[in-house]
Amino acid sequence: MSLDEFFAHPGSSKKREMSKRGVKAKASSDLVASNCPEKETMCDAEDALSTLRDDVIVDKVTSNISKYMDIKISEVIKPINELTEKFDNLIERMETVEQRVSDLEDVTATNEPRIAALETQLKKAMERLESFENQSRRQNVRIVGLKEGAEGRAPVDFFKKWIPEVLGLQQGAITVDRAHRTGPPMRLTGTEGPRAVLVRLHYYTDTQRILQAARAKGTVNTEAGKVSFYQDFSAEVARKRKESANARKALREAGIKYSFLYPAIIKIFNPDGTSSSLATIQDVKDYSM
């Protein structure tokens, strides 16, 4: 309520105030009249009335301002109280989260040595598993380039006769346990070229004889196409050996003597009689030919 509205609509409370003012004014007038001349008494009475009126106005204005301020402050305090409550909830939740994070950090710090030990054990176990896998492949020979279907419907009998003939083995027959193409048929994959053949020999010595004869002969040309003989390795060892293929080719072109050791180690024979072993692809890159 504005001051104009307040004074434009006087109520019962205003009448009571005016009545009180009249009583006070009369009392003051009587008091002044008994002690002062008539003119002075009237002037003093008017001053007293003016002062009393000003006091009443100030009191009323102050009261209205106080009420107005109380209303406005209550309107502001309400959303502030709501925000304060929300902040309190957020602080409580953050404290809970911080405690949980602290607990997790403690658990992680405790488990780090155990995890490191488990990783070491797992690495050793994987290395042993890979070693076992490659040992189980020692009696395998991988033949690449043989025309699809050349082995017919009896691949074991075919390779038992075909391998000694194309390699010129003179130390008797070989014993073949299994023979099959690797991977799905070409019509399903859409790839070009024949699939590799995996031949499982009964004796490891036969495997060694075949690989030595293939290396000595170099290129093996047959009626079924140009073929190559390789030792069979696991996928991981095959990947490592493939990564160093370009480096071995560069060594051969440079006339540097080297040997290729299992699993994928290049042993270079230096002119001064020493040797260098390149076990990783980074070692190959760092080696200066």
Query: Which tens digit of pLDDT belongs to each residue from 62-103?
Result: 888 888 887 878 777 888 888 888 888 899 899 999 999 998
Report the percentage of the chain scoring pLDDT > 90: 30
- Mean pLDDT for the stretch of residues 28-46: 56
Alpha carbons 75 and 57: distance in angstroms, whole number: 27
Q: Is 11 exposed, middle or buried (0-12, 13-18, 19+ CB in 10 A)?
A: exposed
Where exactly are the structural domains of the chain? 3-84, 138-232, 234-289
**Segment 243-247 mean pLDDT:** 86
User: How far is 88 from 207, CA to CA, in rounded Å?
Assistant: 78
138-232: CATH number:
3.30.70.1820
134, amino acid identity: N
Residue 289: predicted pLDDT: 52
- The per-residue pLDDT for range 118-132, each reduced to its tens digit, is 999 999 999 899 999
The residues pairing with 140 across neighbouring beta strands, listed in sequence order, are 200
> In the structure, what pLDDT confidence band is assigned to residue 255 with cuts at 50, 70 and 90?
confident
Q: What is the mean pLDDT of the chain?
A: 81
Six token digits for residue 12: 């019962």
The confidence score (pLDDT) of residue 11 equals 45
Residue 154: what pLDDT?
94
Residue 288's pLDDT is what? 59
pLDDT digits (tens, 9 = 90+) for 9-20: 444 444 444 444
State which fold the 234-289 domain adopts: Rec A Protein; domain 2 (3.30.250)
Do domains 138-232 and 234-289 share one topology? The answer is no
Residue 244 pLDDT > 50: yes
The predicted-structure confidence for 213-229, as pLDDT tens digits, reads as follows 998 988 788 887 789 99
pLDDT tens-digit map of 166-209: 998 877 789 999 999 988 776 665 567 789 999 999 999 999 99
Residue 10: is the preceding peptide bond cis (ω within 30°)?
A: no
Instruction: Determine the pLDDT at residue 6.
Output: 42
Q: Is the pLDDT of residue 248 over 60?
A: yes
